[in-house]
């Protein structure tokens, strides 16, 4: 099982880090077998697994439940679990308790939290102070959609570019061991990556981050929406319905079960 030092070494060696989300036993099993470096139990599970419009309704219990399943499927892979909306905002005691539950009950190795405001930096410090590794997350942070007015690329204007760059440096100073950069111009992703000693993991942040993360369902082509930064490597969106239809057709046309699918009594 890799530890957080491994990821820093990968950055130093210019070895790209492949992060992938997973939400349950089979997705974790496939992710581990494929050799991902780090699994993220993202709060994107609200959309891709639970059918919510956004990530805001995901609870701590949801993440714990799904992280437990992911841990069962990927015993030897480093797992980071997302801290859901409002689980690290109320006060530092609640923040520490919630982070510890993701580790102790969920079985995660690290937690991830969104944002770079001073209160979020305090949250990072408080969690790291409990010996829990933290992945920071800046740029287009989906828990901020109501403030941003939607899923808009962040850091396009000079003053926002500067602010996100400063926040990135501050997350490293606060003790984060890794930084996810989402939905920012490639130039900013590159500048942050070159300014930090911790690895950056991009999603819609260009080609120059130390690693990439994608959502499991996007990689497999099972998502309703397909932003520009997504690359699908399969088309399960078509394969799943056509396979299920074939099963139904076989039942209705007496083709399934066939002779090979049935049990026979022992010959006397």
41 HSE (CA, 13 A, CB side): 37
3-state secondary structure of 103: helix
Least Å from the CB of residue 203 to ligand KIV: 5
Least Å from the CB of residue 21 to ligand KIV: 4
How far is Cα 128 from Cα 121, in angstroms, rounded to an integer?
11
Specify the residue for token string 């010959």. 267
Least Å from the CB of residue 112 to ligand KIV: 7
- In the bound state with ligand KIV, the residue whose beta carbon lies nearer, of 19 and 241, is 19
In terms of Cβ atoms closer than 10 Å to its own Cβ (0-12, 13-18, 19+), residue 10 is middle
Helix axes 118-129, 92-104, angle to 10 degrees: 50
- In the bound state with ligand KIV, the residue whose beta carbon lies nearer, of 199 and 268, is 199
Annotated active-site positions, please?
A: 182
Minimal CB distance residue for ligand KIV: 42
Least Å from the CB of residue 80 to ligand KIV: 9
- In the bound state with ligand KIV, the residue whose beta carbon lies nearer, of 198 and 244, is 198
3-state secondary structure of 166: helix
Strand pairing of 78-82 and 200-203?
A: unpaired
Among residues 133, 87, 92, which one has the least CA distance to residue 114? 87
Among residues 196, 224, 220, which one has the least CA distance to residue 52? 224
3-state secondary structure of 17: strand
- In the bound state with ligand KIV, the residue whose beta carbon lies nearer, of 227 and 241, is 227
- In the bound state with ligand KIV, the residue whose beta carbon lies nearer, of 233 and 247, is 233
Query: Which residues contribute to the site for ligand KIV (CB under 6 A)?
Result: 21, 40, 42-44, 82, 180, 182, 203, 213, 215
Tokens at residue 33, please? 């077998």
Least Å from the CB of residue 79 to ligand KIV: 13
């Amino acid at each position: 099982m890799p530890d957080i030092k491994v990821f820093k070494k990968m950055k130093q060696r210019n070895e790209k880090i492949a992060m992938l989300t997973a939400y349950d036993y089979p997705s974790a099993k496939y992710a581990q077998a494929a050799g991902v470096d780090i699994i993220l139990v993202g709060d994107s599970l609200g959309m891709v697994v639970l059918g919510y419009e956004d990530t805001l309704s995901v609870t701590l219990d949801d993440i714990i439940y799904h992280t437990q399943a992911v841990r069962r499927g990927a015993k030897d892979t480093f797992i980071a679990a997302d801290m859901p909306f409002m689980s690290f905002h109320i006060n530092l005691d609640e923040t520490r308790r919630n982070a510890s539950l993701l580790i102790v009950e969920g079985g995660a190795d690290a937690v991830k939290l969104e944002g770079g405001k001073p209160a979020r930096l305090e949250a990072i410090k408080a969690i790291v102070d409990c010996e829990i590794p933290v992945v920071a997350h800046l740029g287009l942070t989906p828990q901020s959609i109501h403030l941003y007015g939607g899923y808009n690329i962040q850091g396009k204007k000079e003053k926002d570019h500067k602010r996100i760059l400063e926040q990135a440096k501050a997350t490293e100073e606060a003790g984060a061991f890794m930084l996810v950069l989402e939905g920012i111009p490639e130039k900013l992703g590159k500048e942050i990556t070159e300014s930090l000693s911790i690895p950056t993991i991009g999603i819609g942040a260009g080609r120059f981050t130390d690693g990439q993360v994608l959502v499991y369902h996007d990689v497999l082509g099972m998502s309703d929406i397909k932003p520009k930064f997504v690359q699908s490597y399969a088309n399960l969106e078509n394969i799943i319905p056509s396979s299920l239809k074939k099963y139904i057709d076989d039942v209705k046309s007496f083709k399934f079960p066939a002779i090979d699918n049935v049990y026979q009594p022992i010959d006397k």
